[in-house]
Chains A and B, each alone.
Chain A
Amino acid sequence: MRRTVPALVAALGVCASLALAWIHASPILRAGAKAASATMSMAPTSTVGSLPVPEGVPDAGPLSITPALIREQNADADRVMDEQGMTPQMLPGGIKRFTLVASEVNWYLYPGKVVVACGYNGQVPGPVIRVRVGDRVQILLKNELNEPTTLNFPGLPLPASQLGIGGVTERPIPPGGERLYSFTVTPDMVGTHLYESGTDMASEIDQGLHGVLLIDPARGSLYPFAKVDALYEIDAWMVDGSTTENAFGLDGKPYPNAPELTVPYGSRVVLRIVNASGMCDHAMHVHETTFWLLAEDGHPLPVPRPMNVLAIAPGETADIEFTADVRGDWMFHCHILDHMMNPDDEVDRMGGLVTFIHVK
């Protein structure tokens, strides 16, 4: 991401010596010495004084995107809500390969606010990856950012060799580099999970490097009774130079752009809610109904629990169920009330973590 020169200099002061020592110990990066020296100036965070602070997304300007592109991005959000998985490349032996390209993208949030986000395959959240028990999966991450990154799968029982905390369990992938993550889907992985950057998480996650991983049973669907099975991924942004989260979206889009869900009257509805915010807990409230918590982090509860509000921490996922038994337009929103506003949005009274469930 863009950095101011003073921030860069300060960052170098803090991190350069560490980075140098580490690069000399790293055969991979020595091989790509040129890339590595370019990478060195990309410190993990910017700094204020001597304290590292998370880095948000800079403005791209309202004219940096066309109405057609905004529509395309909203269509991406609809596909995420509808849990449409990306199509894998089928390799010999039946291996499913998903390729994620991390790069910058001008991302439309709300009227007047377009930011330079980081996304996978040009979207935030990244495309839904949907696989089944027994699948042999490869996820190829290509880093087209100008900073190192890795991929991490919080809560998924993966072998240690496939864990992606950059600088801790694996070497960060330098700009221009790539890495293949491979695993076989086991029954204990069934459910709703997320994937996200495992490097400089305080900045990269809220810049947009996150997505959802849905794991189905070997056959059929996890919730066969559900007429509607929809996904809301909660994402957070630091805009206007803020170092704390101050803008929030559902499936990448703050209200009034958040995808809205239409469900048939009387149908049983499952919502999968994923908190991909880097920092904030949320308290998600569905109007009209008492819903039942079915599963947390992919694990089914022994006994589902009834509630009106779901408290969900960063990295957690929750599957809830309710019956759409009253017709109308029902709000679904975060009950932390400053999460339902867009900063400096003079057009819309409501923003952020708000959408509607239309029972027709």
Chain B
Amino acid sequence: MWSFGAVFLAGIGEAALHHADAQIANGTASMAMQNSTGDDGPPPTPPPVLTNAQILQEDRDAVNLMNEVALTPRILPGGVKQFTLTASKFGWNFYRNVNLWAWGYNGQVPGPLIRVRVGDRVEIVVHNDLPEPTTIHWHGMAVPNDMDGVPGFPEPAIQPGGTFVYRFTATSQMIGTHWYHSHYDDDYQVDAGLNGVIIVDPKTPPPSMRHVRDVLFVLGAGKQDGSDNENTFLINGKAYPDTPQLTVKRGTTVYMRIVNACAETFHAMTIDGYDVKIVAQDGQPQPDPQTVSVVSIAPSETVDVEFTADETGTFPFYDTVASSLINPNDSVDPVGGMMTLIHVTP
């Protein structure tokens, strides 16, 4: 249905093909066949070529996102915080040698973290350098109707080459962990990488938050080899073993924000060795916090959990939906996808 989607999907298969060293060579023959049969779309896009320096920068982006390093706004006269997001197509290394074409904001998957406070007047300037229209929806946040990002209700989508400025004032309704994403050609654009997290802090942070380690994990997905279903699973834009790993000192209280930015797939996140307390869902503090071993999280939900790292060692944090723990075309790693490690040091 979506012509650009076909380009992207074809590009994914090709990407792996062109990086066919020993690790993924086994997968290339069947991929070549898939690409050459039954695809009457446009010819495959050449795969992205990334330098080691670029891949290292991507890995730093993923760690920075985990550490909640936010995009720095420009402060306009009158105190308005202005953030700029440029949506474009670029190469992204998902794991090992698998480089794919992504669509994202400011060259990152997911997009940069935006962090504001209640009372802030916020402007987000969005440039569309994509080959198709796009919008941004501020999920879970009661913005004015013309800032809501649903194409045609009432604002039209941002055309290729166009710019739109989203403006709103952060209200107490918006406190918590939320996310932003394209609402145009959603199923394709969100998984292509057009998503990011926005955190709205209260005017004064509650005392309970002052001594905790606050971290962010964004669950993402992609489709490789022309799959109809999501088959590539990510944390902060990277699949295990390239996901960002968390190291904390024993005794630290960890406040972990989990965002399911996948277009289609439910996840069930667990930390081996630890139970967690669900303190907020979709940014809303829970009136009756539950302690669980597995956090079920539907597409587009956000869940904030808390735990105290009282046992030293290395503890896997992963999706118990086992189909998320495999990397397509990766014959090296016994486990892949939606997993990372939490190291608790003495």
Residues of A within 8 A of B (CB): 281, 283, 285, 287-290, 302-309, 311, 325-331, 335-338, 340-341, 344-346, 349, 356
Contacts and interface: CB of A to CB of B under 8 A. Distances in A.
B263 A336 contact: yes
Contacts of B282: 290, 306-309
A328 B284 contact: no
A298 B101 CA distance: 47
Nearest to A326: B142
A283 B145 contact: no
A294 B326 CA distance: 38
Interface string B275-288: 00000011111111
18 contacts: A283-B266, A285-B300, A288-B145, A290-B282, A290-B284, A303-B288, A305-B284, A305-B287, A311-B266, A325-B142, A328-B148, A328-B153, A329-B154, A330-B148, A337-B190, A337-B299, A338-B263, A356-B153
Contacts of B154: 328-329
Contact of B142 (A289, A331, A337, A349): A289
B145 A349 contact: no
Between A287, A288, A330, A340, the greatest number of chain B beta carbons within 10 A of the residue's beta carbon is seen for: A287
A311 B298 CA distance: 6
Contacts of A335: 298-300
Contacts of A281: 266, 298
Interface string B142-186: 111110101101100000000000000000010000100000011
Contacts of A304: 287
Q: Which 4 A-B pairs have the closest CB atoms?
A: A328-B145, A335-B300, A306-B284, A337-B187
Interface string B254-291: 00000000011010000000000000011111111000
B139 interface: yes
Contacts of A309: 140, 282, 298, 300-301
A304 B140 CA distance: 18
A156 to B, nearest CB: 25
A331 B153 contact: yes
B53 interface: no
A289 B138 CA distance: 11
Between A309, A344, A345, A356, the greatest number of chain B beta carbons within 10 A of the residue's beta carbon is seen for: A309
A336 B265 CA distance: 7
B264 A336 contact: yes
Nearest to A246: B228
A346 B287 CA distance: 45
B296 interface: yes
Contacts of A303: 287-288
B33 interface: no
Given A283-B300, A336-B264, A329 B153 contact: yes
Contacts of A337: 186-187, 190-191, 263-264, 299
A325 B143 CA distance: 11
A320 B185 CA distance: 28
A295 to B, nearest CB: 15
Between A304, A309, A337, A341, the greatest number of chain B beta carbons within 10 A of the residue's beta carbon is seen for: A337
